[in-house]
Amino acid sequence: MSLPQSGDLQRLYETRTSSRWYRALLPPDPFLMNPRENIDAPLGRWNLYIGGAGTRVEGYINIDLFLLAGVDIVADAHRLPFRAGVFTRVECDAVLEHVACPEQVMREIQRVLAPGGFAHVVAPFCHPFHEYPRDYRRFTPDGLKQMSAGLEVVAEGWRTGPSATLSVFLLEYAKLLLPWRAWRAFAHGVLGWLLFPLRYLDLLLFRSPYAGRMGNHCYLWLRKPE
């Protein structure tokens, strides 16, 4: 697979770690995490975080395509450079939409997990296009389960709900109408502050059986049989 290594891509990653003063003015995230997402899945001696460029993840070996802050090993998730059965936990958060073959990545996660180990997989359903470094597809919980590669599904749900979807699309739509980068940044700031209270409605909507019609990101907890 040939990957773009342009300055644009580098800048995209840098914004994730930037600590510039104006970040203090940025609105809160339009997302509210589902409080029911976390389950009691302990970390072990070895745990794997896939795709954490720009993030320090305590307790995990962090692999990514790019050697940026926080990354321990440069590797492609399609071919994990580890022997079978070594990891107690594997975290794959917002990565599957960026890989050419998510089924192959799921098979690799299954392979490197230790028996009894847990994998936590999160993927977008209704979310704007975003390249890291590509953006190939979206997922439903059933679509994720279909790729679970023999792992048992122990929990599933929506990490971020319909209100998050509405806010992120309104923000993107407003920015589409504006020709200049500075205007887009301004609109993001103003609209972001106006829209962020919407996210609290997701606390109600997480309980609705229809939340999945326009859920933002879904999650699965998977366990490798003993």
Ligand X SMILES: C[S@@+](CC[C@H](N)C(=O)[O-])C[C@H]1O[C@@H](n2cnc3c(N)ncnc32)[C@H](O)[C@@H]1O
Listed ranges 22-30, 90-98, 160-168, 189-197: which one lies at the site for ligand X (CB under 6 A): 90-98
Rounded to the nearest whole angstrom, what is the least distance from the CB of residue 24 to ligand X in the complex?
A: 20
Rounded to the nearest whole angstrom, what is the least distance from the CB of residue 64 to ligand X in the complex?
A: 5
Rounded to the nearest whole angstrom, what is the least distance from the CB of residue 172 to ligand X in the complex?
A: 16
* H-assigned helices in the chain: 7-17, 102-112, 141-146, 162-176, 181-195, 202-205
Closer residue to ligand X in complex, CB, 60/206: 60
Q: How many residues bind ligand X (CB under 6 A)?
A: 18
CA angle 98, 26, 94 (to 5 degrees): 15
CA distances from 182 to 63, 140, 160, 175, 188 (A): 34, 35, 28, 10, 10
Closer residue to ligand X in complex, CB, 73/204: 73
Site for ligand X contains 53 (CB under 6 A): yes
Site for ligand X contains 52 (CB under 6 A): yes
Site for ligand X contains 65 (CB under 6 A): yes
CA distances from 222 to 79, 117, 156, 173, 192 (A): 20, 8, 9, 35, 34
Q: From the CB of residue 38, how many other CB atoms can be counted at a distance below 10 Å?
A: 12
- Binding track, positions 139-178, relative to ligand X; x by CB under 6 A: ----------------------------------------
Listed ranges 75-83, 112-120, 156-164, 174-182: which one lies at the site for ligand X (CB under 6 A): 75-83
Closer residue to ligand X in complex, CB, 97/202: 97
Residue 194, token pair as written in the block: 């106006």
Site for ligand X contains 93 (CB under 6 A): yes
CB within 8 A of 143, min separation 6: which ones?
none
When CB distances to ligand X are compared, the closest residue is 51
Q: Which helix (H) or strand (E) holds 154?
A: strand 152-160
Interatomic CA distance for residues 114 and 41, integer angstroms: 13
Closer residue to ligand X in complex, CB, 5/208: 5
Closer residue to ligand X in complex, CB, 6/208: 6
The residues of the shown chain that bind ligand X, judged by CB under 6 A, are 50-53, 55, 63-66, 76-78, 93-95, 98-99, 132
